Structure 1
Amino acid sequence: MPDNSADYEDPDELQPTFDEDDHPARVWNLLWLLNPGDEELALQQFDAWREARAGAEHEAGDEQWLWDLKDAIDWRSGFFVDGQDTGSLVAVIDELAARWNLRVDWGGDLDDEDFAETIDVPALLATAHDRLREHGYTLWTWNTGEDAHAGWIALRRDDEAMLALCSLLGVEVRPGSDPF
């Protein structure tokens, strides 16, 4: 048989190479968890993150890398909303869940003023977390240190990997059922 392996793209060529203990390797692994089945998007976000990191001087151990990552994934694989902005939270979670053809049942009509007045961002995060768990996903939040909520969605089967990786990266994360 003829060797036609050159006709096919090697998926390993799409992945960047780096040392195992390298911080960018850990960021890449995080992006891999945030984009299950979408290596191309993970690679685009990784490139955007590296570009942002290259544009400025950063000290070792600084936390700016996480804010650069937030910018690279916002509304595509992650979210960042004001602590009081229920409308933006619902919109971004709906957008993120749509990647897997999922819709979140928010427990009421968000256009109903009576219902909208009784909910807040933490309650919506808990609702979204519970609804996504039913479909095999976990909504995660990370500590922004301010009156804002940020996070991402990953496969439920990767919960332990998410906790271990975020610990290595120094990112304090919690499930959306117990947001910061």
Structure 2
Amino acid sequence: MAAHEHEFDPDDNFSFGAPERDDGEEEAHDGDLEAIAWQWLLRINPGDEDAATQQFQAFRETLGDDDAQDAVQAALESATDWRASFRVPEDERATLIDAIDTLAERFRVELDWGVEDPTDEVALAGASTHALLDTAYDQLRVAGYTLWTWDTGDDTVAGVMAPRDDDEGMRVIGHALGLDVRPGAG
């Protein structure tokens, strides 16, 4: 039975363990990947297991039988985009601010971007994407969260937010998913 055919129990964070072989040893399989993805979703949806569960189901449906690293990343991104993650063109600063504000609202955090109208691209022309990410990072840290970003390999910027008391867990899980996560603009 493929791992994605297992019943999903959101209360059992490691319910996707490898099946036992005839000799009693366990074999690694893509169920481990599902367990890692579930832990990622729990961290980027803190206190909202329902949202994590919905995103996990969407992740599983999108991923199907493809367990290649890029397919896993794409499935996670598709399942969480603008719900628990963002990926926007690097030169669209107003969209970046909107995405980060939308995600920060889940934690009841309002960010001060230092501009009168953060939706005005002209007013934001002098602000770099990295400076905006650093601004969000600093304010989220004060509120108890960390803004994580990673290299997308193209001209977009992607990221998530998670409680700052689990920074090491985010690094470990991000690495296991093939994401070189870094705090803020890195």
What TM-score does the superposition give when structure 1 sets the normalisation length? 0.84
Match of residue 32, structure 1, among 37, 42, 58: 42
> Percent of aligned positions with the same letter in both sequences?
41
Equivalent pairs counted in the alignment come to: 164
* 2:5 alignment counterpart: none
* Counterpart-to-counterpart distance in 1, 2:120 and 2:104: 22
Q: 1:25 to 1:126 in 2, by over 3 A?
A: same
Once the two structures are superposed, residues 4-54 of structure 1 have per-residue CA deviations (whole angstroms, 9 ceiling, x without a partner) of: xxxxxxxx9534621176111000000010011000000000000000012
What TM-score does the superposition give when structure 2 sets the normalisation length? 0.81
* 2:125 alignment counterpart: 117
Pair 1:99-2:95 in alignment: no
Q: 1:24 to 1:137 in 2, by over 3 A?
A: same
| SS in structure 2 of the partner of residue 138 of structure 1 | strand
* 2:16 alignment counterpart: 18
* 1:41 alignment counterpart: 51
Q: 1:131 to 1:95 in 2, by over 3 A?
A: same
Gap regions ≥5 residues in structure 2? 1-7, 19-27
* Counterpart-to-counterpart distance in 1, 2:126 and 2:49: 39
Match of residue 65, structure 1, among 66, 72, 75: 72
Match of residue 129, structure 1, among 137, 142, 146: 137
Question: Is the 8 Å Cα contact of residues 83 and 121 (structure 1) preserved in structure 2?
Answer: yes
Amino acid at match of 2:107: W
Higher helix fraction: Structure 1 or Structure 2?
1
Q: Which moved more, 1:110-119 or 1:98-107?
A: 110-119
Question: Is the 8 Å Cα contact of residues 15 and 43 (structure 1) preserved in structure 2?
Answer: no
CA RMSD, 1 decimal: 2.0
| SS in structure 1 of the partner of residue 172 of structure 2 | helix
